[in-house]
Each structure stands twice: as C-alpha cells, then as structure tokens.
Homo-oligomer: A and B are copies of this chain.
Amino acid sequence: MDKLLEKQLQNASLASREMMHVDTAQKNEALKAISQALLNHIDDIIIANEKDLAVAKSNGMSDAMMDRLLLNKERIESIAKDVLKLVDLDDPVGQVIREIHRPNGLLIKQVRVPMGVFGIIYESRPNVTVDIACLCIKSSNVCVLKGGKEAINSNKTLTNIMQNAIKSILPDYTVQLIENNDRAMVTQLITANDYVDVVVPRGGAGLINHVVKNATVPVIETGAGNCHLYIDKDADMKKAIDISVNAKIQRPSVCNAIETILVHKDIANTYLPKMVEAFDGRVEIRGDEITQSIISCHKATEQDYATEYDDYIVAIKVVDSIEEAIAHIYKYSTKHSEAIITENQEAADLFMNSLDSACVYLNASTRFSDGGEFGFGAELGISTQKLHARGPLALLEMTSFQYKVYGNGQVRK
C-alpha cells in the first residue's frame, strides 16, 4: 500500500476509536464551527475553485460539468446552511434498539454505535466533500474522502477549512482527504479491510461497478436509478399526468426521476395523448410499436428500457396487464423506486407487495425517494442494495450496532 495512504488510514482507524467517546454536544459544536469557517473563508474557497475551473476549461469540460464543479458565494452559503441543519437532527449513536432481560439474569442491550471508518469515493461536485464529512461527524464516524481529480483544489481547501475548524473539538484525523490522484489509491482504499469499515461509491455506474467488483471492504451501493411509473387501467388521469410530469422532468438528472413509463393497454389511448400534451415538447419520447400507433414518437429499443437517461428522455411501453408491468420492472429496474397510479385496491396491493425495489409508491411521485422528503434530514445517498441500508442512507443507516451484555458471573450451561 502507498505509504502516505496507509498512514492516513491508520490515523483514521485510531481516530474512530476516539470518536466512540465523543458526545452529541461536541459533535454539534464541531458542525457549527465548520459552518462558520466556511462562511469566513468564502474567498479562499472561490480562489481554489477557480483553479479547478481553469484546468477543467482548458481540458474542454462541458458547460454542464463545469456547472457541477462551480462554487460561488451563494453555493458556499448554501453549503454552510446545510451543515447547520445537521445540528438539529437526532444523534443516532447510543440509541438502544432492544433491551433483553434473559432468564439467567443477563441484560443484553443492542445499542447503536458508529460504523467506524467510512471510505467515500465520489465525483465532481465539491459540495459533497462537506456534506459527507459533516454527516460522518454527526454519526460519530471518521471519513477518508476520495473526490474527483477535477475538484482537487476545491476539495483540499474545503478539507483544510474543516480540519482547522474542528481541531480543538474532535479527534485529529476525523476528516481526511486523499490528495493523490493515482487511480491505485481507490483500489487500495476499497481493499483496506484492516482500517476501513465500509465503502460508499457516489457517482456514475462506472465508478459504482468498479468499486463493487474490486472492493473487499463491505460496500453500500448508491445511486443507480432506473425508476418506473406504471399507469394502471384504473388510474386517475389527473394524478397520472401530474405525477408523470413531476417524476420525469421536475429534475431529470437525479436518480429518483423516472426513465420508463409503462401504460396499461386499456388506458393508453386516453393517457398517451394527454401525456404528450403535458410534456409539451420538453421530453423526447421513445415508444414501442403500440405507443407509436397512438402518438408520434421515436422507436424504443431494448437498450432504452435498460438505460438510466438522467435526461429529458422517456421510454414508453404499453403492457397487457399489471403482471407484465411487474415483470418488465423486474427485468430492467435497478431496484431504486417504482410507482403505480391506480384507484383499484387490488392492483395497488399487487404492485406494492410484488416488487423488491427499495421504495414503492402508490399514487405519488418517485421524486420523494430522498432523506429530506422522508423526514430523515440529510442523506449520504440512496442505497439500492438489500443489505444494511435501503433507500435513503441517512444518519441512522450510517451506524452499526453492538450487543453490550451485562452479567454477574453467568456461565453457559
């Protein structure tokens, strides 16, 4: 392992032991200090960010990507404000999940404890650096961050500001950044089982697949969202249209936006023209043959149904039955979020109880799959795996638990 990285990970591991003894007040004090320090250093952050933007521009980065990378006064103030929001959230650490009194007198407490060391690998947006570090602090975890190389100057400055702000409040090495942009760093981080407790990749499918394939440290997968909306034959048309528009284009670039709309054949003639009208030319429509016979649109291929566009594009398929819709979702879904629009109780029950996606919706937009919208406060991402965390990966899911067993000399018979 790279010597500097190993030293960082050793320090992180030691810091995680100290974090077990940090209380809520200290953590909140640290969050307030970070928020204030960000506001105090707006100019420094902008200068660092401008360096990244200049490199990005000379490398021919697209405007959309440049916008993701940009930090201005308004955005930094918004980041600082989000940090303060964490102060008011419940501290998950120390919560007693179960208390079991055994006949032999043993008292078993199942208690929430920090996970330990989080290794987080992410891409361009530098605000993520602050978001993640502060979520880790609130949950008594230590983080080792590996951001995108295009944001390295911004990330270094943000990390320095945070480290200085918490210096006298939390253990040293609670927040660390891997500054070396050699790709081997990622591989070493995700196989450092001696030091790292969990790895979370935040980014595109390429990054996530690389981490899942190569990690030996347990991984929480986040983000991939090929989400579906099924318009049942007994759908309320207003709900169907309102939710189609909201779930597709309120913010198409995010993982909880829908990519495919499945339409029951009995309602397709009514729904599809209304949908076209509601999208009002803002969405490229790709449909199967039946769809093409009803509305004017491009042809949808197998590949379309498998694609998370994250864009103003939607795939449409007309289905013979709710069972066909469910089978289609099983075939193509990334198990993130799926919704049914129906007034029929039987259809609703079948849909809600037959899918194994993290979130299933009846008559509501998939855009609600979000820690804030669920009432959990901030989130680290949306987990699409079944182990440990599903859906919003919020503070509660950033903890593990431990059994503390109190006895008085008991031995096993």
Residues of chain A whose beta carbon lies under 8 Å from any beta carbon of chain B: 16-17, 20-21, 100, 102, 106, 108, 113, 115-116, 193, 197-198, 212-213, 216, 218-220, 236, 238-239, 242-243, 245-247, 250, 330, 352-354, 356-365, 367-369, 373-375, 385-388, 390-391, 400-412
- Nearest residue, chain B, Cβ from A364: B407
Q: Which single member of B17, B113, B358 contacts A402 (CB below 8 Å)?
A: B358
A182–chain B nearest beta-carbon distance, Å: 22
- Nearest residue, chain B, Cβ from A198: B387
**In terms of DSSP, what is the predominant structure of the interface of chain A?**
mixed
A312–chain B nearest beta-carbon distance, Å: 17
- Nearest residue, chain B, Cβ from A197: B386
Q: How far is the CA of A229 from the CA of B212 in the complex (A)?
A: 36
Asked whether, in the complex, the Cβ of B354 is within 8 Å of the Cβ of A17, the reply is yes
Asked whether, in the complex, the Cβ of A407 is within 8 Å of the Cβ of B361, the reply is yes
Please name the 5 residue pairs, one residue from A and one from B, whose CB atoms are nearest each other, closest first. Answer: A364-B407, A246-B411, A388-B388, A367-B412, A386-B400
- Nearest residue, chain B, Cβ from A219: B218
Asked whether, in the complex, the Cβ of B356 is within 8 Å of the Cβ of A402, the reply is yes
Q: How far is the CA of A362 from the CA of B356 in the complex (A)?
A: 41
A365–chain B nearest beta-carbon distance, Å: 5
- Nearest residue, chain B, Cβ from A215: B216
Asked whether, in the complex, the Cβ of A409 is within 8 Å of the Cβ of B358, the reply is no
Q: How far is the CA of A106 from the CA of B372 in the complex (A)?
A: 13
Can you list 11 A-B contacts with CB-CB less than 8 angstroms, sorted by A residue number?
A21-B353, A100-B375, A108-B374, A193-B212, A362-B407, A364-B411, A367-B412, A369-B403, A387-B400, A388-B388, A390-B401
Q: Which single member of B20, B220, B360 contacts A404 (CB below 8 Å)?
A: B360
Q: How far is the CA of A174 from the CA of B278 in the complex (A)?
A: 45
A347–chain B nearest beta-carbon distance, Å: 14
Q: How far is the CA of A407 from the CA of B363 in the complex (A)?
A: 5
> What would 10 more interface pairs be, CB under 8 Å, given A102-B373, A391-B402?
A21-B353, A106-B368, A193-B212, A198-B386, A218-B386, A243-B409, A359-B403, A363-B406, A364-B405, A368-B412
